[in-house]
Structure 1
Amino acid sequence: MNSQGRLIARFTENLPAGTLEWIGLRPARKEPIQTVEQVLALEGLGLEGDRRCQGSPGSARQVTLISAEHLNLIAQFMGRDHVPVELLRRNLLVSGINLYALRHQPFRIGEAEFIATAHCHPCSRMESALGEGAVAAMLGYGGFCAKITKSGLIHTGDKIEKI
């Protein structure tokens, strides 16, 4: 763990748990998201049924997470009432926890364990999905990528907590 990771770990020892609100899978590139209530997270691979699970084992982008609170900010920056999570191409929507506090930290959702690896920056596809200004609205609020470090079943409603 680098020095930034150690500093974050020190100040997030008592981070309150959040909640997994939504799960989305993309079976293939450019395919629409399929909403599910539960999924098997496979160590080193990704979410069963998601296209990333078929990619390179060990990828740092096995799962993508975004915060429900950030969804509200993105909508506000775009002058919209809300932004449908399915359009953002992320796998997991969580609430009640600061995702930035989990960066480079191990965390658990349901039976599975993860480590947040990198920011999930918005891509140009957001402009076509949400409209002009989407990339600018999402800068800093695109969520995180994570690796799965222990397989397990996750369900909507599960707690997300630092371990």
Structure 2
Amino acid sequence: MPLNPDSELAKLMATLPQVGTVQWIGLRPARDEWMSAVESVEAVTDGGLRGDRYKGGSGKRGITLIQAEHLPAIAALAGRGIEPALLRRNVVVSGIPLIALKDRQFRIGEVVLQGTESCDPCSRMETALGAGGYNAMRGMGGLCARIVSGGNFRVGDQVVAL
């Protein structure tokens, strides 16, 4: 059931004065390949990121993002150091709470995105992070987004709620 836009909760959820920053971008060219870090990328409208194996499919998961501030917590819970590529998300963002972008539009560089759903961890986290890796990421898996308007973005670009 959607929130009443006049409710106090809806007003609190709509208040997002923070601006984030892209810290890392990664692409996986094929299944079971390591993610490659890149400095910039092209996002294709209702698709995915050029050079990434996921082409967006239904569009709900054209791009995956994870909160930079969650990486130390995931590492602590997994009992090991981690690199962004291990977590299989395309973009690491700092400075803005990604969950607040669910069901709303935001911009990174030239690209307009729509937050669609939480990006829950997959069973591959057990291999990537070791036993308990799946549970270490629960609640901190990030956000999936649809690419509403394509273009380019790069490491260092701002992440701004629209």
TM-score normalised over the length of structure 1: 0.91
For 2:4 and 2:65, locate their aligned partners in 1 and report how far apart those are by CA, in whole Å: 19
For 1:162 and 1:123, locate their aligned partners in 2 and report how far apart those are by CA, in whole Å: 27
CA offsets, 1:33-67, max 9 Å, x none? Answer: 011000011110011111112x53x4211100000
Decide whether the 8 Å contact of 1:43 with 1:148 is kept in 2: yes
How far is the alpha carbon of 1:158 from its aligned partner?
Answer: 0.1
For 2:25 and 2:3, locate their aligned partners in 1 and report how far apart those are by CA, in whole Å: 29
Decide whether the 8 Å contact of 2:59 with 2:147 is kept in 1: no
- The aligned counterpart of 1:134 is 133
CA offsets, 1:53-91, max 9 Å, x none? Answer: 2x53x42111000001111110111233x3111011100
Matches within 5 A, 1:45-64: 45-53=47-55, 56=57, 58-64=58-64
* Superposition RMSD in Å: 1.7
Cα–Cα, structure 1 residues 65 and 156, in superposed 2: closer, same or farther, change >3 Å?
same
Cα–Cα, structure 1 residues 133 and 14, in superposed 2: closer, same or farther, change >3 Å?
closer
Decide whether the 8 Å contact of 1:5 with 1:105 is kept in 2: no
For 1:18 and 1:9, locate their aligned partners in 2 and report how far apart those are by CA, in whole Å: 21
- The aligned counterpart of 1:86 is 85
Decide whether the 8 Å contact of 2:40 with 2:153 is kept in 1: yes
TM-score normalised over the length of structure 2: 0.91
Segments of 4+ moved more than 6 angstroms = none
Matched, 1:120 2:119: yes
How far is the alpha carbon of 1:4 from its aligned partner?
Answer: 4.3
Matched, 1:152 2:154: no
Unaligned runs of 5+ in 1: none
- The aligned counterpart of 2:142 is 143
Unaligned runs of 5+ in 2: none
Matches within 5 A, 1:34-113: 34-53=36-55, 56=57, 58-80=58-80, 82-113=81-112
How far is the alpha carbon of 1:9 from its aligned partner?
Answer: 6.1
